Amino acid sequence: MFYNIYKFFTFIFSAPIIIFFFLRLIRKKETKKSIMEKIGFFSKKRPKGKLIWFNASSIGESLSVLPIIKKINYNFPKYNILVTTSTVSSFKILQKRPSEKFVHQFSPLDIDFIAKKFYEYWAPDLIIFVESEFWPNLIFRAKKNKIPSIVINARISKKTYQKWNLIKKTTQKLLNSFNLFLVQDNETQKMLKKFNIKNIKNVGNLKFLSQKLPINKNELLNLKKMISKRRVILLASSHQGEEKLIVSKIKKLSKTFNDLLFIIVPRHVNRSSEIQNYLYSKKINFKVRSKKEIIEKETFCYLADTIGEISLFFYIAKIVIMGGSYVNHGGQNPIEPSHFNCALIFGPYMQNFQKISDNLLKNQAAIKTDSTSSIEKIIKDLMTNPKKIEKLSRNLNNFCLKEKQEANAIWTELNIFFKNHLK
C-alpha cells in the first residue's frame, strides 16, 4: 500500500522534481551531464557481456567499493562494471582513479519510468547497493526483472530503524527483495532480523579495505615549500557552523605556538564564500587555495576549497579534527586519516560511525571531546607532548590494520555469490 502511494507521488511530482534538479544546475550543484543522466539520457554505451552494477551515493561510498572493483577486474576480467553515484564531487574523485576499470553514470532518479528506462538500457546482471541507498522503485524493478541484488556494508541507524518500523510490512517486502545482506556491525544485523531478513552476514566494515588516498607528488612538494616547518592542525570535511565553533579556539593557540598553521577543508567546496566571509569578519589572516594564494609567514588559516585534495593535508597535518562531529551531522569517515601519521580528534556527533568511533576510543586511537570548549586544552597538551601524537597515530594505524583483516571476509562472500549467480 505504502509503496503504491510512493510510486504514485513520485510519478505525479516527477516534473517538479526534474525542475528542482535543473535549479541545482544554476547553483552549480549539478552539471548538464549529471542531470541528463539522472533523468534517463545516457552518455556512454553499455559494454557487451555481463554487467555488475554498483549503486553508491557520496564520495565515501564510491571510494569504498574501489578495492572490490579492483578484485573483480583481476579475478573476473570478463565482467563489466557500472558505478553510479549521486554527486558531482564523487564523479570528479572517481575520475582521478583510472587504475580500476569501470564505467561511471550518475544515479537515476527514483521515478518508476526513469528506473524502467535505466534497466532497459544498462540491463545489469547483478546489482550491488552500497550501505543504505534503498530506493524503492529501483529495488522493486530489479526484483520484477529477476536481477539478483546485494547490499554491501549495510548500516542502519536507530533513527532509520524507527522510521522503517512505522511501515513494517512495506519495509519487509522491500528488504526481502535482496538476495544477500553483508552488514558492517552487530546492531544492523539485529535490526534487520526484526524485519524477518534471513540472509544476513556480519563481515566487518568495507571502508577498512580502502587504500591510501592518492597524492599528487608535485602539489605535495609545493605545499611543503609553502608551509616550511610549521605545525599543521587540520579541520577535515567541515560542515556548516563548525568553522565558527573551532576557529576561535585554534586562534587562541597561535599565541602560544607562533608556528601554527590551521587548514580548513570544507566537506562542500561551494561553501567557500560563506567561510571566507566569516574569516573576514573575524579579521583572520587567511589564504584561499582555489585562488592559488601563497601561504605566508603571517598566514594563520589556509582554506583548502578544492575537490579531491584532502590527502595532501592529511599528509602534512600533525593533528586532525574530524568534521561533521561538532554539529549534529553524524561525523565523517575517521578511517581516511589512519593511513597518515596524525592524531585524530572528533566531537560528540559521530553516530554515523558509532561503532568505529567507540572502538577507536577503546583502543586509545583517537580523542573525543564533548564540545569545542575543551579542544584548545587538548591540542595544547598534544603539541607540547609530541610522543602523545606519535602514540595516537600508531594506535590508529594498528587498529585499522586489524579491522582490515576482518573485512577481507567481504570479498570471500562476494566471490561465492558471483560464482553462483554469474555463470
238: which DSSP letter?
E
Residues 132 and 402: their CA atoms lie apart, in Å, by 25
CATH architecture of 2-202: 3-Layer(aba) Sandwich (3.40)
Classify burial at 20, counting beta carbons within 10 Å of its beta carbon; exposed 0-12, middle 13-18, buried 19 or more.
exposed
> What is the mean pLDDT for each group of 10 consecutive residues in the chain (423 residues)?
80 86 84 92 92 88 89 92 90 76 93 95 96 88 94 88 90 92 91 91 89 85 93 96 94 92 94 96 96 94 93 94 94 88 94 89 94 89 94 93 88 91 75
Task: Read off the pTM.
Answer: 0.84
DSSP states along 75-115: H-TT-EEEEEES-HHHHHHHHT-TTS--EEEEPPPS-HHHH
- Catalytic annotation on 61? yes
Q: What is the pLDDT of residue 319?
A: 96
The per-residue pLDDT for range 183-192, each reduced to its tens digit, is: 988 889 999 9
What is the rounded CA–CA span in Å between residue 285 and residue 196?
57
Q: Which fold has domain 217-405?
A: Rossmann fold (3.40.50)
Residue 246's H or E segment, with its range, is: helix 242-253
CATH 3.40.50.11720 in the chain, residue ranges? 2-202
Q: How far is CA 135 from CA 52, 63, 72, 130, 138, in A?
A: 18, 20, 25, 12, 6
Residue 98: predicted pLDDT: 64
Nearest by Cα to 396 from 354, 334, 350: 334
Query: In sequence order, what are the residues at sequence separation of 6 or more whose Cβ sits closer than 8 angstroms to the Cβ of residue 43?
Result: 33, 36, 37, 105
pLDDT over 90 for what percent of the chain? 65
* Catalytic pick among 30, 61, 131, 242: 61
What is the structure's pLDDT at 100?
Answer: 73
Give the pLDDT of residue 423. 67
Per-residue pLDDT at 341: 85
Provide CATH 3.40.50.2000 ranges for the chain: 217-405
Please identify which residue in the block is written with the cell numbers 545489469. Answer: 124
Cell reading at 300: 594563520
CA 411 to chain centre: 20
